[in-house]
Amino acid sequence: MAAEQKSLGQNITNVSRIFELKNLEWIPLIKEIFLTASALMEEYDLGAFDAYMAATALSKDRIIVSSDHVYDKITRNKMH
């Protein structure tokens, strides 16, 4: 239990650091992003997190900064 609490505390600390990032924009999950994410999950066999990130980028500036190659196939087809 103590290790679990330490892990939870560390996770909360890590997440709270996100709020310290400059130029961070929180984008709500609106219907259009949700529907696009759902389509991307099916079309590209993405997990929910990756699909949400890609759908959000498609709804905004079409830019994803990531070393994860899962976005490569999407950028070739939809981001440019």
Helix-then-strand count for the chain, H and E: 4, 0
With beta carbons less than 8 A apart as the criterion, state whether 51 and 40 touch. yes
pTM over 0.85: no
List the chain residues with pLDDT less than 50. Answer: none
Q: Which two tokens stand for residue 53?
A: 């990130």
For residue 50, what pLDDT is reported? 93
For residue 3, what pLDDT is reported? 58
